[in-house]
Amino acid sequence: MADEQKQIIRTKELTPEEGFRFRHPLNPNSGAEFFRLSRPSGLQRSHVNLLRVPPGKEAFMLHRHTLQEEWSYIVEGEGTAQIGEEKIKVTAGDFIAFPLNGKAHNIVNTGTRDLVYLTGGEDTPHEIGHFPSVNKMIVFGPDGVDLIDTSAAKRYTMQDFMTGKLD
């Protein structure tokens, strides 16, 4: 996998054993071969991963981030990126940016061969992911993951919260 210099990873030489099969726990249509590139090459403050997604599948699901920016770069194949309500065809060479608190997004392999793309972004100890299609929010932290049902959440004004009016 890696040269003598660990900063270089020859992605064309990666074997399935060097990655892992990934399925998003909230999406039965999720399926991808997932290769971490940043940690094995010594990066600590950003993450970069190589994903290989079979036709008809998606690696993740419609989501947006609160604390970390994200990006994807299509290496091979074609797919459809959903950003908010808009669906846009993407193909090799396309770069897609997902800014903080932006629109929910996802990439689906709508082609006839594997969709291969790089994805990455900031790597902070905490992150909040919002999954609007299933009314869930995930809070990621160093000690684990909290899955929250947002359909059961209540919103309060700051005044009510600060004065204890939480009925």
Tens-place pLDDT, residues 33-64: 999 999 999 998 999 999 999 999 999 999 99
For residue 140, the one-letter residue type is F
- What is the band of 167 on the pLDDT scale with cuts at 50, 70, 90? confident
Sheet with 136-141, side-by-side order of all strands: 64-65, 127-131, 136-141, 144-149
Q: For the chain, which domains are there?
A: 11-124 (2.60.120.10)
64: left (phi over 0), alpha (psi -120 to 50) or beta: beta
Q: pLDDT digit string (tens) for 12-27?
A: 999 999 999 999 999 9
Q: What is the pLDDT of residue 91?
A: 98
- Joined tokens for residue 75: 């290496």
Could you give the CA distance from residue 78 to residue 99 in angstroms, rounded to a whole number? 22
pLDDT-derived band at 4 (thresholds 50, 70, 90) equals low
Predicted model pTM = 0.89
152 in helix, strand or coil?
A: helix
- 8 A C-beta contact, residue 129 and residue 73: no
pLDDT tens across 53-112, in order?
999 999 999 999 999 999 999 999 999 999 999 999 999 999 999 998 789 999 999 999
Strand order in the sheet with 78-83: 86-91, 78-83, 105-108
Count other Cβ atoms within 10 Å, centred on residue 11: 13
CB 57 within 8 A of CB 109: yes
HSE, side-chain direction, 13 A CA sphere, residue 56 = 2
User: How is residue 12 annotated by DSSP?
Assistant: G
Joined together, the tokens standing for residue 37 give 């590139």
